[in-house]
Amino acid sequence: MDALHTEGGSDREIAGFWRRLGAFAVDSILLGIVGWILGALFFDTFARMGAYAKLIGFAIALAYFGICNSRIGGGQTLGKRWLGVRVVDAHDQLLSLPRSVLRYAVLGIPFFANGLPLDPKLAMSTPLGYLLALVVFGGMFAIIYLYLFNRRTRQSLHDLAVGSYVERFDRAAQPVPFPVMWRGHIVVVALLAVIALSAPAVASRFAQTQTFAGILPLYQTLSTQPHVMTAQVVRGWSSFNGGKTTHSLQSSLWLDAPLTDDGAMAKRIAQLMAKADPNIANEDVVAVTLVYGYDMGIASGWKKHGYLFKPDELL
């Protein structure tokens, strides 16, 4: 049993992993419903915003968790109320609004920043790329690791950042004195940060391999095409029941206009891919997926259309 002992007050039992996960799941569903409603009302607006639509989702989540988890909301989101838990500090006091907002910012930024469109050359060779890797990968790894393995205090990275705890508030169980967090977790988090910082260098070396030759120039070419906000290019292969292996060059293009049914555009993109790929002779299929939609972080909606071409049709 996990418990936090406070001087001059009643003992409080620390909320367990599954109870916290359940509360977060409830809150995520509620935010998802809000995001889905907004997406239905402003689909085209959000779609044209591209990655910036995540700023709206982040602002909504920041306001919800920041206010509800502070003393204004009694330290409880709707999910926490349902599961009987709340957020407090080490003195069993509710958090101030700025402290609660900071708490969620530490939790939310790594996940909302994940997937932001960034030129691969910038991501792999500039301080911005290393900073983003530390925040996104280091942050996510640390948050997940502490959630799973910090069983003494159940504090994750955002709790440690502001000195908060999530406690049981239903008083159903008898608490016991609670020890401090094992300091070895700090060492593990530091190692995860080092691993995250190495990601751009690893990606840079990986991009120079023969398998991915020509991918970066092709990405840059596709990213500059009309109506294309973001492009993704990969090489793939598939094999069914041990039969012949099919090799493919695949692209996904996120558009700023509802052009997913534009077959002529898809073929033009495929022709650019075939022309720019030095290894096109080794490919069996060129696949183009046109995507139009939004991702707010709390909800997303997409319209997609995939097109397949034989390289011989494009050269």
Q: What's the confidence (pLDDT) of residue 126?
A: 82
What's the mean pLDDT in 185-189?
A: 94
Q: What's the confidence (pLDDT) of residue 10?
A: 46
What's the mean pLDDT in 150-164?
A: 95
- Provide the whole-model pTM: 0.87
Ordered domains of the chain (ranges, CATH): 3-207 (no CATH), 211-314 (3.30.300)
Please, are residues 166 and 86 in contact by the beta-carbon 8 Å criterion? yes
User: Which of 95-104, 236-245, 297-306 is predicted with the least confidence, judged by mean pLDDT?
Assistant: 236-245
Q: In this model, does residue 229 exceed pLDDT 60?
A: yes
Q: What's the confidence (pLDDT) of residue 47?
A: 96
pLDDT in tens, 23-78: 999 999 999 999 999 999 999 999 999 999 999 999 999 999 999 999 999 999 99
| Alpha-carbon distance values, 274 to 61, 102, 238, 252, 279 (Å) | 43, 48, 19, 15, 9
What's the mean pLDDT in 13-17?
A: 91
pLDDT in tens, 32-47: 999 999 999 999 999 9
What's 268's DSSP letter? H
d(CA 249, CA 244): 17
Going by C-beta distance under 8 Å and a sequence separation of 6 or more, which residues neighbour residue 267? 288, 307, 309, 314
Half-sphere exposure of 85 (CA within 13 A, CB side): 24
Please, are residues 12 and 3 in contact by the beta-carbon 8 Å criterion? yes
pLDDT in tens, 92-144: 899 999 999 999 999 999 999 998 887 777 777 788 889 999 999 999 999 99
What's the mean pLDDT in 164-187?
A: 74
d(CA 155, CA 180): 10
Q: In this model, does residue 239 exceed pLDDT 90?
A: no
- In the chain, % of residues over pLDDT 70: 90
What's the mean pLDDT in 188-195?
A: 95
Q: In this model, does residue 291 exceed pLDDT 60?
A: yes
Question: The tokens 């509800």 sit on which residue?
Answer: 68
d(CA 274, CA 252): 15
Q: What's the confidence (pLDDT) of residue 5?
A: 47
* Residue of 208, 96, 228 lying closest to 162 (CA atoms): 96
Query: What DSSP element (H or E) covers 229?
Result: strand 228-238
